[in-house]
A = this chain, B = another copy of it.
Amino acid sequence: MKKVFILFMLISLGAELSAQNRVTWIWYPGDFEVWLSNKMQNRRTERGAFFPPFWRMDNHYVLIDFHKVFDVPSEEQVELYVEGQFNVKIDGKGISGYPRTITMPAGKHKLSMKVFCQDRVPAIFVKGKTVVSDSSWLVTYEDKEWIDASGKASDQSGTNWLSAGSWNFDSPSVPPSMFALATAPQSPVKVEKTAGSLLVDFGKETFGFIRLKGLKGNGRVSVYYGESKEEALATETCETLDHLEINAPVKKDSVMNLTKAFRFVNVKYHPDVSIDSVSMLYEYLPVADRGDFRCSDAEINRIYDVSKYTFHLNTREFFIDGIKRDRWIWSGDAYQSYLMNYYLLFDSPSVTRTLLALRGKDPVSSHINTIMDYTFYWFLGISDYYLYTGDKKFIEQFYPRMQSLMEFCLSRRNGDGLMEGLPGDWVFIDWADGLSKQGAVSFEQLLLARSLETMATCSKIVNDQEGATKYEKLASNLKAKIFSTYWNEQKQALVHSLVAGKQTDNVTRYANMFGIFFDYFDEQQKQGVKQHVLLNDKIQKITTPYMRFYELEALCAMGEQKHVLLEMKDYWGGMLKLGATSFWEEYNPSKKGAEHYAMYGRPFGKSLCHAWGASPLYLLGKYYLGVKPLSPGYASYVVEPVLGGLKWMDGKVPTPAGDVKVYCSTKEIRVQGVAGAGVLRIKSKTKPSGDGLEVKPLGNQLYEIGIGQNKAITVRYSAL
């Protein structure tokens, strides 16, 4: 396989900065994402065997019509670059052949191109002075432009035109099909050489192509990858490997075909083979950090840094789950990456690429990734995307795909109107021993309720009043039903499930912690849940960083930052103490040694670099620095710094209009605001003060101070 390594910079763009007027490759929206996800998700191997996903992979539309009407000041030459077989029409009149340059006459003219491409996504790059391809072009997969026997075109059309999709393919010579992540050479920090073997340590978890330099001789070379040293040495049970048959009379270099995740590499070779050295090409998505967090606690700083590295390793063509094993796009995992992204990268294209790849195409024949909860996280992802970015266009373009997915869900409710697993539905929730998936699980109903609320919001954005009414009613009915069905007054909790119409005795954390930050509980219920569930050691503990994310979020949402800081130090700090250089798929402090690496019945089944391990990025930005949008796209926002036991913290949170900077000690807060309407809310023993500030007491030692657009403020206060 020939590989094309192309280095091109990704510019982090807020959603408000559209690709309009920047000449770029365009395609049918969502299609590049589907195509690229097929390519990426079919790169998984398990011990050398190809391991593809078990859900439906969709496909791009192979025949696309592109057009735009231009007002051309004076005749101009226009260059055309196309992926596929194409035609060009000016004002509906075809031009013979496959022209590379056309002349656009002055005046108002419609330029149309129609492209067929089976193996890649039909795409065009049009470059004139005023006539350029950008996301303002309209596209469809069925133009329905028939003519009658006299040659007259049809006068009514039922065709849906969408705005073209685009990303950052701004060079005519790098079409979308040539997409490749960036690479950089890296060397090991330590090599142990024995007869016929090299054990190489790259010093930390990493990802890329192994390069064998100076290969010579005849015989087999095997490369065993390990996230741990134990795994690399376990040639019979390590998860990934490569075998090469060498026949090299003179020295040559060899780069592996497929990327792998590893810290250690164990290269074993035939006595007739020699190898000079082992190095790697680190592969990554070049996207810059915008968020930041430093504080008085060195361990937390280290947790933040390792979270960042973990997150970057899993932020690739898409937000993936983990780099060693699946390397697939999992909606539940991706949902957490979206949230972390808003506090570190604010890279909207990574969010929309992932959402579109997950959704694929109609018809809906299964839940996203086959998992019921993962379908709902997809809706929640859209809800957050809109809140953080304010991007209405995305919702306008993909509302029909939201509708059909929701219809699929609604059609699978049981007789009580509740979601219950049907054959083919995976009720996942979490990796937890003995967790019951029987009957109608309360957790799933909460997610459906939130998804219905998201649909109602989006219906209004696209002016679907009927839809808005319908989804609002469904949401409020379901919320009422959740409380009448699952709330147990004695237990002060939502019970886990309803089996055969009866409440089970089981209380788990899941529905209860989501109920907190969904704000579905009244104050009394909240306190009940906090005491009886969240802070109750008798309730089954959570061992995945995945659900720790929500557990700690729920506690933060109730002002328990002090407690959460200790939990973070204990849990993430615990992994660091075990030598983690990235955060894991699952962590159970009670395990010992290599026990930590086992999962799925395999000794090295566990992923030691899982996106969901990076949640401190989100928690520290949202609940410590305390920066949150109040209305879509940070048109209004709040800054509520909470030290949670830290002496000071200093950081940045990205928004569409720049970064909000927050410094907070026990005595002083400095905030640099952005274009939106920001307010600072702080608790203080005494009334806060500062030059020219209007301080509004909200009672109960809480104060609110307007930040002012793009203004910096300094506030003196006295932390509680």
State the A residues within 8 Å of B (CB): 35, 38-39, 42, 46-57, 59-63, 85-88, 94-98, 114, 116, 118-119, 141-152, 154, 156-159, 243, 362-363, 365-366, 370, 404, 422-426, 431, 586, 599-602, 605
Complex contact B431–A149 (CB within 8 A): yes
Please give, as numbers and ranges, the residues of chain B lying within 8 Å of A48 by CB-CB distance. Answer: 96-97
Which of B63, B95, B149, B159 is in CB contact (< 8 Å) with A57? B63
Q: With contacts A56-B142, A116-B57, A118-B35 known, is A87 near B605, CB below 8 A?
A: no
Please give, as numbers and ranges, the residues of chain B lying within 8 Å of A42 by CB-CB distance. Answer: 63, 85, 116
- Bound: A177/B714 CA distance, A: 69
Closest to A422 in B: B158
A160 to B: closest C-beta gap in Å: 8
Which of B51, B114, B119, B424 is in CB contact (< 8 Å) with A52? B114
Which of B46, B114, B158, B365 is in CB contact (< 8 Å) with A366? B158
Nearest 4 pairs of A and B residues by beta carbon: A158-B424, A151-B601, A119-B119, A48-B96
Which of B50, B87, B156 is in CB contact (< 8 Å) with A85? B50
Q: With contacts A85-B50, A96-B49 known, is A55 near B424, CB below 8 A?
A: no
- Bound: A88/B35 CA distance, A: 24
Complex contact B116–A119 (CB within 8 A): no
A242 to B: closest C-beta gap in Å: 10
Complex contact B51–A94 (CB within 8 A): yes
Complex contact A144–B366 (CB within 8 A): yes
Q: How many copies does the complex hold?
A: 2
Please give, as numbers and ranges, the residues of chain B lying within 8 Å of A39 by CB-CB distance. Answer: 118
Q: With contacts A63-B52, A157-B424 known, is A46 near B94, CB below 8 A?
A: yes
Complex contact B54–A144 (CB within 8 A): yes
Q: Taking chain A's interface residues, is the majority helix, strand, or loop, or is none over half, making it mixed? A: loop
Complex contact B424–A144 (CB within 8 A): yes
Which of B49, B56, B599 is in CB contact (< 8 Å) with A87? B49
Which of B49, B95, B423 is in CB contact (< 8 Å) with A156? B423
A67 to B: closest C-beta gap in Å: 13
- Bound: A157/B54 CA distance, A: 12
Closest to A97 in B: B48
Which of B55, B57, B62, B586 is in CB contact (< 8 Å) with A62? B57
Which of B59, B370, B431 is in CB contact (< 8 Å) with A146? B370
A419 to B: closest C-beta gap in Å: 15
A451 to B: closest C-beta gap in Å: 21
A331 to B: closest C-beta gap in Å: 14
- Bound: A85/B57 CA distance, A: 14
Q: With contacts A38-B116, A47-B96, A48-B97 known, is A363 near B363, CB below 8 A?
A: yes
Complex contact A54–B142 (CB within 8 A): yes
- Bound: A158/B96 CA distance, A: 50
- Bound: A150/B432 CA distance, A: 10
Complex contact A145–B98 (CB within 8 A): no
Closest to A369 in B: B146
Complex contact A600–B94 (CB within 8 A): no
- Bound: A145/B54 CA distance, A: 6
Complex contact A243–B61 (CB within 8 A): no
Which of B57, B119, B404, B425 is in CB contact (< 8 Å) with A61? B57
Please give, as numbers and ranges, the residues of chain B lying within 8 Å of A366 by CB-CB distance. Answer: 142, 144, 158
Closest to A426 in B: B146
Additional A-B contacts beyond A49-B87, A59-B61, A151-B605 (16; CB < 8 A) = A38-B116, A50-B87, A50-B98, A59-B62, A144-B424, A146-B370, A148-B600, A149-B431, A149-B600, A150-B600, A151-B601, A157-B423, A158-B422, A159-B424, A362-B362, A362-B363
Closest to A424 in B: B158
Please give, as numbers and ranges, the residues of chain B lying within 8 Å of A158 by CB-CB distance. Answer: 366, 422-425
- Bound: A50/B49 CA distance, A: 42
Q: With contacts A49-B96, A85-B50, A154-B426 known, is A144 near B55, CB below 8 A?
A: yes
Please give, as numbers and ranges, the residues of chain B lying within 8 Å of A50 by CB-CB distance. Answer: 85-87, 98, 114, 116
Please give, as numbers and ranges, the residues of chain B lying within 8 Å of A142 by CB-CB distance. Answer: 54-56, 365-366, 370
Please give, as numbers and ranges, the residues of chain B lying within 8 Å of A150 by CB-CB distance. Answer: 600-601
Q: Tell me which of A63, A148, A151, A602 has the highest count of chain B C-beta atoms within 10 A of its own C-beta.
A: A63
Please give, as numbers and ranges, the residues of chain B lying within 8 Å of A52 by CB-CB distance. Answer: 63, 87, 114, 116
- Bound: A98/B51 CA distance, A: 12
Q: Tell me which of A35, A42, A404, A586 has the highest count of chain B C-beta atoms within 10 A of its own C-beta.
A: A42
Please give, as numbers and ranges, the residues of chain B lying within 8 Å of A114 by CB-CB distance. Answer: 50, 52
- Bound: A94/B370 CA distance, A: 22
Closest to A89 in B: B49
Please give, as numbers and ranges, the residues of chain B lying within 8 Å of A602 by CB-CB distance. Answer: 151
Please give, as numbers and ranges, the residues of chain B lying within 8 Å of A54 by CB-CB distance. Answer: 142-146
- Bound: A426/B145 CA distance, A: 10
- Bound: A299/B711 CA distance, A: 95
A33 to B: closest C-beta gap in Å: 14
- Bound: A48/B497 CA distance, A: 66
A418 to B: closest C-beta gap in Å: 18
- Bound: A60/B119 CA distance, A: 11
Please give, as numbers and ranges, the residues of chain B lying within 8 Å of A141 by CB-CB distance. Answer: 56-57
Closest to A364 in B: B363
A152 to B: closest C-beta gap in Å: 8
Please give, as numbers and ranges, the residues of chain B lying within 8 Å of A51 by CB-CB distance. Answer: 87, 94
Q: With contacts A142-B55, A605-B151 known, is A49 near B118, CB below 8 A?
A: no
A719 to B: closest C-beta gap in Å: 43
- Bound: A489/B456 CA distance, A: 54
Complex contact B62–A600 (CB within 8 A): no
Complex contact B97–A49 (CB within 8 A): yes
Please give, as numbers and ranges, the residues of chain B lying within 8 Å of A59 by CB-CB distance. Answer: 59-62, 118
Please give, as numbers and ranges, the residues of chain B lying within 8 Å of A118 by CB-CB distance. Answer: 35, 38-39, 59, 119
Sample of 25 A–B contacts (CB below 8 Å): A35-B118, A38-B62, A42-B116, A47-B94, A49-B96, A50-B87, A50-B114, A51-B94, A52-B63, A54-B143, A54-B144, A55-B144, A56-B61, A56-B141, A57-B62, A57-B116, A57-B141, A59-B59, A59-B60, A142-B366, A146-B426, A149-B431, A154-B426, A159-B424, A362-B363
